[in-house]
Amino acid sequence: MTADRAAAVALDEADPLRRFRERFVITDDDLVYLDGNSLGRLPIAGRRRLRRLIEREWGGDLIRGWDSWIGLAREAGDMLATGVLEAEPGEVVVADSTSVNLFKLAAAALDARPDRTVILTDDDNFPTDQYVLAGLAAARGLRLRLVKSDLDGGVPAEAVEAALGPDTALVSLSHVAYRSGAIADMHRITRAAHAAGALTLWDLSHSAGSVPVPLRSAGVDLAVGCTYKHLNAGPGAPAFLYVRAGLQGGLRQPIWGWFGQRDQFAMDSTYDPVDGIERFLVGTPGVLGLTAVLEGARLSAEAGIDAIAAKARSLTSYAVELVDGWLAPLGFDLASPRDPDRRGAHIALHHARAWQVVQALKDANVIPDFRTPDRIRLGFAPLYTRHVDVYEGLARLHAIVTAGTHLGYPEARTRVT
């Protein structure tokens, strides 16, 4: 590949997913959107389905709409299980937020290992994950043990193995690192955790819909993830949780609610959870959000996760080539793995004035993301990001820094994480 627009156009012409871009709402052709790993674009099918839901079902059917809405959490979960994640129907359900689901599953896992005292995670795991785990440890008199992670390379499997012991109850990590896009070795880490007698809980927020997630083949116990990034379900859309089928009957989550009750409409005052994945539900689901999740997951399933992952590798590899040729001489360093098989669908660039560069890029109609310390995060959503978008975004970045335009922006007062 060469650093010219014609090469990007040729890659796009050969892209088997190129037609999927037409299935998203795009209102500004000049905008280079490189933040789909934080908030995905609106699918046209999702907009259509939500309009029908609001106008016909909610507007016309009123409460009678629950005849079709009541099973949406499981329906959306099954779509994710079979079309996006390597899981079985009945192992995934959509509910609550990622943080709440992490709390529910971590608490259930700790209850299943009552004689163990350590929760293991890494020091670069997403902050909320660390907060939730630290809160559980503090409330139960347990210890949160942090494995040293590489900011650019992710969590080393050997470091996790060295930190495991007979006191470890739970290992909770992110599959794809939120900062660098590094992919953790799910197979090796899960195998090591099981050998030590611990359960595993993976955060799939940056991997679901961007890379294969080997839940079944790796023997993963538990997982959570959000739906508004690569799954394009919209801002604040409900998250999902995964519980391996063989574990479901032996775990009881800490928030007992009527949607997890065996016969919820009997209104019995005694809690008796259902046998399946629905026992991890709590309260009345958000029907609008669940509908958007279902449509977003359906689009990813149609494209196929292998094709999506192949496009992600192509986009990030092309970006790395442009970084090496254009941006390295200007003080930029790649802050992500160079091996495309160890990257998700985003990369990070280190620059001493990253915050200012990001502000200048936004004014140039390029939307990236800033992450500490001094990282520019570039997210490439394979369903609608083109190679020509990568070319144009990095060309504008090169022009900004060459001209020194970014130096006219104030330095950040608050470092956003």
- Note the pLDDT tens digit of each residue in 379-392: 999 999 999 999 99
Predicted confidence (pLDDT) per residue in 231-246, tens digit: 999 999 999 999 999 9
Q: Is the pLDDT reported for residue 124 higher than 90? A: yes
Structure-block tokens of residue 378: 């570039």
Which of 222, 109, 223, 120 shows the shortest CA–CA distance to 166? 120
Q: Is the pLDDT reported for residue 417 higher than 70? A: no
Structure-block tokens of residue 361: 């890029």
Q: Is the pLDDT reported for residue 192 higher than 60? A: yes
Fold of 5-30+304-408: Aspartate Aminotransferase, domain 1 (3.90.1150)
Residue that the structure tokens 């479901």 belong to? 248
Q: Are 319 and 345 in contact (CB under 8 A)?
A: no
Element (H, E) at 101: helix 98-111
Residue 279 bears catalytic tag: no
- The answer, yes or no, to whether the previous bond of 166 is cis (omega within 30 of 0) is no
The CA-atom distances, in angstroms, between 105 and each of 12, 129, 141, 241, 277 are 41, 12, 18, 8, 12
Amino acid at the residue 271: Y
CATH 3.90.1150.10, the chain: domain bounds: 5-30+304-408
CATH 3.40.640.10, the chain: domain bounds: 47-303
Q: Is the pLDDT reported for residue 165 higher than 90? A: yes
**Which residues, 6 or more positions from 314, have their beta carbon under 8 angstroms from its beta carbon?**
11, 15, 387
Structure-block tokens of residue 66: 């629950």
Q: What is the pTM of this model?
A: 0.96
Beta strand extents in 301-345 (DSSP E only) = 333-334
Percent of the chain with pLDDT over 90: 97
Structure-block tokens of residue 281: 């539900």
Q: What does the pLDDT average to over 101-117?
A: 98
pLDDT for the residue numbered 411: 87
Amino acid at the residue 103: F
Give the 3-state secondary structure of residue 76: helix
Predicted confidence (pLDDT) per residue in 57-106, tens digit: 999 999 999 999 999 999 999 999 999 999 999 999 999 999 999 999 99
Largest CA distance in the chain: 70
**Radius of gyration for the alpha carbons in the chain, expressed in angstroms and rounded:** 22
Structure-block tokens of residue 309: 């992952």
Distance between CA atoms of residues 37 and 53, nearest Å: 27
Predicted confidence (pLDDT) per residue in 89-101, tens digit: 999 999 999 999 9
Structure-block tokens of residue 42: 């609106």
Residue that the structure tokens 């959509």 belong to? 94
Q: Is the pLDDT reported for residue 142 higher than 50? A: yes
Q: Please state the three-class secondary structure of 376-410 as a single string.
A: EEEECCCCCCCHHHHHHHHHHHHHHHHHCHHHHCC
Residue 126 bears catalytic tag: yes
Q: Please state the three-class secondary structure of 230-286 as a single string.
A: CCCCCCCCCCEEEECHHHHCCCCCCCCCHHHECCHHHCCCCCCECCCHHHHCCCCCC
Right CATH for 47-303 from 3.40.50.620, 3.10.180.10, 3.40.640.10, 1.10.10.10: 3.40.640.10
Distance between CA atoms of residues 140 and 179, nearest Å: 30
Q: Which of 41, 229, 375, 386 is catalytic?
A: 229
pLDDT for the residue numbered 413: 58
Residue 280 bears catalytic tag: no
Q: Which of 103, 126, 178, 391 is catalytic?
A: 126
Predicted confidence (pLDDT) per residue in 278-314, tens digit: 999 999 999 999 999 999 999 999 999 999 999 999 9
Predicted confidence (pLDDT) per residue in 398-414, tens digit: 999 999 999 999 987 55
pLDDT tier, 21 (very low <50, low <70, confident <90, very high otherwise): very high
Q: Is the pLDDT reported for residue 415 higher than 90? A: no
Distance between CA atoms of residues 109 and 233, nearest Å: 28
Residue 318 bears catalytic tag: no
Structure-block tokens of residue 175: 């599959």
Give the 3-state secondary structure of residue 344: coil
Q: Is the pLDDT reported for residue 30 higher than 80? A: yes
Q: Which of 20, 228, 240, 391 is catalytic?
A: 228
Distance between CA atoms of residues 183 and 177, nearest Å: 7
Phi-psi region of 154 (alpha: psi -120 to 50; beta: other; left: phi over 0): left
Give the 3-state secondary structure of residue 334: strand
Amino acid at the residue 312: A
Residue 377 bears catalytic tag: yes
